[in-house]
């Protein structure tokens, strides 16, 4: 693999075929397989030490705009299974495109000593589509973000898609990708602003097969193939050789660009995500996904489903690798 393989594998796994997710779901139904119960991503929640400071950074860096703000209610904290979140500030932000299907929620959590991005199991990164990551690079640097992967083509073979990686104030990671030529080799969703909606959430897992099978069995999500790739950033975070490959695989909801990616972390070099007592995990705290068949989902929720956001029901569970997932009824 080339030195860029750690970038290219993300689109290979989660980009190709994304537009065919609905067709695949129909085929599953014809075969008598479980219906894909996930429509798509709704909210990416990130936990940071200071919400106001983070809001300013995201406004300046990637042109997110405030939708509303407040403090976490006891009902929401209970639903999350994180009672100590009650009373903590949050802000909900949207992309400049005005996309109504996806939000980024920034919420306050206490710093966790020793926590480092990419070094633990659970949600580690959010991938978003961009019109021009070279413009994004200049903006995020001026906003105070840490660029840990500078913009560059995915590989010589797939040079039309360029990507970069950025770390925020809570050790949250965001990956941005742009189709720079219009060839759209990986069937990426089309951005309508400098940075637009999510197309993938990345989960580090000690057991990739258990993780994939869980989302197939409980949510009916469509699975991609497991492949091996060298992942430079994971290798550097965990301290193993960049020449060592790890297994990776994806699961998709029905809407194009609604993927989960599972990265198989070496067990001896990684472990569970630490968090402050009763709080959400730091960094990428939680991914919220919508469903149009809430009652068909059979998982162990932290609390009984409840109407939290003025529409359908919502409830939260913790997945096999320790990732926090909120299911929201598309009502």
284: CATH: 3.10.180.10
Full domain range(s) for residue 15:
5-329
Q: Is the separation of the CB atoms in 249 and 227 below 8 Å? A: yes
Pairwise CA distance, residues 154 & 157, whole Å: 8
Q: Is the separation of the CB atoms in 161 and 130 below 8 Å? A: no
Low-confidence ranges of the chain (pLDDT < 50): 1-30
Count the domains in the chain: 1
Residue 247 sits at the vertex; the CA angle it makes with 290 and 28, to the nearest 5 degrees, is 45
pLDDT of residue 160: 84
pTM across the whole model? 0.90
pLDDT of residue 65: 97
pLDDT of residue 277: 98
Pairwise CA distance, residues 32 & 54, whole Å: 46
Smallest CA-to-CA distance from 204 within 248, 148, 259 is with 248
Tokens of 146: 């840490």
- 53-90 as b/e, with b when 16 or more CB fall inside 10 Å? ebbebbeebbbbeeeeeeebeeebbbbbbbebbbebeb
């Amino acid at each position: 693999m080339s030195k860029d393989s750690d970038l290219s594998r993300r689109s290979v796994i989660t980009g190709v075929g994304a537009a065919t997710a609905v067709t695949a779901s129909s085929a599953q139904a014809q075969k008598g397989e479980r219906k894909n119960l996930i429509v798509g991503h709704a909210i990416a929640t990130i936990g940071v030490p200071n919400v106001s400071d983070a809001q300013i950074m995201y406004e300046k860096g990637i042109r997110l705009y405030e939708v509303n703000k407040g403090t976490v209610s006891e009902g929401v904290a209970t639903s999350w299974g994180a009672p100590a979140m009650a009373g903590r500030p949050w802000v909900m932000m949207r992309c400049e495109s005005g996309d109504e299907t996806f939000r980024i929620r920034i919420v306050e959590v206490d710093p966790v000593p020793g926590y480092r991005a990419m070094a633990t199991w659970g949600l580690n990164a959010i991938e978003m589509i961009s019109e021009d990551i070279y413009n994004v690079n200049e903006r995020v640097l001026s906003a105070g973000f840490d660029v840990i992967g500078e913009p560059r083509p995915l590989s010589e073979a797939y040079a039309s898609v360029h990507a970069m990686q950025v770390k925020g104030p809570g050790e949250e990671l965001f990956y941005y990708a742009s189709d720079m030529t219009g060839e759209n080799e990986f069937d990426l969703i089309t951005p309508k602003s400098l940075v637009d909606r999510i197309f993938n959430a990345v989960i580090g897992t000690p057991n990739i097969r258990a993780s994939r099978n869980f989302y197939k069995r409980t949510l009916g999500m469509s699975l991609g193939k497991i492949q091996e790739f060298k992942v430079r950033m994971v290798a550097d975070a965990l301290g193993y050789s960049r020449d060592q490959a790890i297994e990776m695989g994806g699961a998709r909801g029905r809407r194009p660009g609604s993927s989960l990616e599972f990265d198989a972390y070496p067990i001896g070099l990684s472990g569970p995500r630490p968090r402050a007592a009763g709080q959400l995990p730091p960094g990428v705290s939680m991914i919220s996904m919508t469903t149009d068949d809430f009652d068909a989902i059979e998982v162990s929720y932290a609390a009984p489903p409840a109407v939290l956001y003025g529409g359908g029901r919502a409830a939260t569970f913790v997945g096999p690798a320790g990732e926090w997932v909120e299911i929201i009824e598309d009502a």
